[in-house]
Amino acid sequence: MITWPGQARCAVAVTFDLDAELFWHRLHPGAAERPKTLSLGEYGITRGTPRLLDLLGESDVPASWFIPMWTLERHPVAVERIRERGHEIACRGVADEVLGALEPERQAETVDRAACALEKVTGSRPRGFRAPPGRVGEGFGDVLAQLGFGWSSTLFGDDVPHYLESGGTSTGVVEVPRRWEHTDHPYFAYNGGPVAFPPGRSRIASHEVVLEEWKTAFDAYHREGLCFVLCLEPQVIGKPGRALLLEELLRHIRSRPGVWFATCGQIAEHFRRHGGQNPPGHPERVRATWTEN
């Protein structure tokens, strides 16, 4: 079991993907001609993000914001507000590239381009990365290490941080793993056709059901001393009723003893200093073995 700072029982990271209108552009080429669909993303920038920044401030919770270059170029004021509030800003690629479909050299060029854009606006080069949707492919960890990234929050292979491996060895890049179950999209994201999400299915979950699901999941992570990572999007969770859900969840988490709220970067750095290497049989080692064969 990983030991957390201050004898905390578990770690909690609240993360946001600031995809905005890009989410819909990725989903369907026709989105560009549909202002109603794009307005969902605009809402996330103009209403969701300010509401969530206020909530985080009132709750005294640090967050990690993953920002694509596409969003940075169209909404620099929103990014500046996030930076001014002291939250961690990490990289989410350029736009709709599928990294696993690119050769390693082209992957590196693309990720570096996005990182340089963030550095120009924020004044510091991002240390963390979350890949855009789509496969990342072999060599992902090597590319991040080559570009100076210290951590990623992209994969799903564990409940605690670990090192990304490549060719049977550690890349030195710490993965802070996440879960679809702790993401708002599967429960709440919705749009009608033809830019439909989810395709062919209609559902919007109730606030109460999702809140109880997340509370129960957190309590299990807390009991086992793990790393609980929430993955949210302002256009989804940033609406008034859903923001109340998040506020209630954070209040529930704070009610438990020994909780360390931290950014993904802080969690990765703590693991780097105290976590050691991936143990034998770790899912990341197993995956690397499959690739080698």
pLDDT of residue 293: 44
The winner for highest mean pLDDT among 13-22, 95-104, 192-201 is 13-22
CB contact at 8 A, 153 and 15: yes
Cα–Cα dist 176/118, whole Å = 21
* pLDDT of 260: 98
Strands 259-261, 169-175: pairing is: unpaired
When pLDDT is cut at 50, 70 and 90, the band that residue 282 belongs to is confident
Q: Which two tokens stand for residue 122?
A: 């924020």
Mean pLDDT across the stretch 208-235? 98
- pLDDT average, residue stretch 120-149: 94
Neighbouring-strand partners of residue 40: none
Query: Please, what is the average pLDDT of the chain?
Result: 93
Q: Is the pLDDT of residue 119 over 90?
A: yes
Evaluate if residue 211 carries a pLDDT over 60: yes
Q: Find all residues with CB under 8 Å of 239, minimum gap 6, and list them.
A: 43, 47, 48
Neighbours of 186 (CB within 10 A): 13
| pLDDT in the model for residue 286 | 77
Mean pLDDT, residues 167-179 taken together: 93
Pull the structure tokens for residue 87: 């939250």
DSSP characters over 186-226: HHH--B-SSS-BSTT------HHHHHHHHHHHHHHHHHHT-
Alpha helices (H) along 44-93: 49-59, 69-74, 76-84
Q: Helix axis angle, 76-84 relative to 104-122, nearest 10°?
A: 70
Which stretches of the chain are assigned E, i.e. beta strand?
10-17, 63-67, 88-91, 128-129, 151-152, 162-166, 169-175, 227-232, 259-261
- pLDDT of 1 reads 74
Q: Which of 40-44, 274-278, 286-290 is least confident? A: 286-290
- How far is residue 286's CA from residue 60's CA, in Å, rounded to a whole number? 38
Q: What is the pLDDT of residues 231-266, one digit of tens each?
A: 999 999 999 999 999 999 999 999 999 999 999 999
Write the single-letter amino acid at 139. Answer: G
Q: What is the separation of C-alpha 124 from the centre of its chain, rounded to a whole number of angstroms?
A: 19
Give me the pLDDT at residue 275, please.
79
Above 60 in pLDDT, residue 278?
A: yes
pTM of structure: 0.95
